[in-house]
């Protein structure tokens, strides 16, 4: 296996973080929706937590994407 193939494999493995981010974001919004349907009065108080969880989950995916770009275009 040459260095170019290893670079492509490494970038592909780094992109697995994007799948984890998608699952995490779906879980966050699904849990929020479930809680909002059970107690609509408390839904507005949990909206800030929803956005924080979304931002953290999305950041994880973006870090994986940045690592894949670094592997592809820097090394």
**pLDDT tens-digit profile of 22-56?**
898 999 999 999 999 999 998 889 999 889 989 98
CA distance 47 to 41: 12
What percent of the chain clears pLDDT 90, i.e. is strictly above it? 39
pLDDT of residue 2: 87
Region 1-15: mean pLDDT is 89
pLDDT band at 17 (very low <50, low <70, confident <90, very high): confident
pLDDT of residue 18: 86
50, 28 contact by CB (below 8 A): yes
């Amino acid at each position: 296996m040459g260095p170019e193939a290893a670079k492509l494999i490494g970038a592909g493995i780094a992109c697995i973080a994007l799948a984890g981010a998608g699952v995490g974001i779906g879980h966050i919004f699904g849990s929020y929706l479930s809680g909002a349907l059970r107690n609509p009065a408390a839904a507005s108080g949990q909206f800030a937590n929803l956005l924080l969880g979304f931002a953290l989950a999305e950041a994880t995916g973006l870090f994986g994407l940045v690592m894949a770009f670094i592997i592809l275009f820097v090394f």
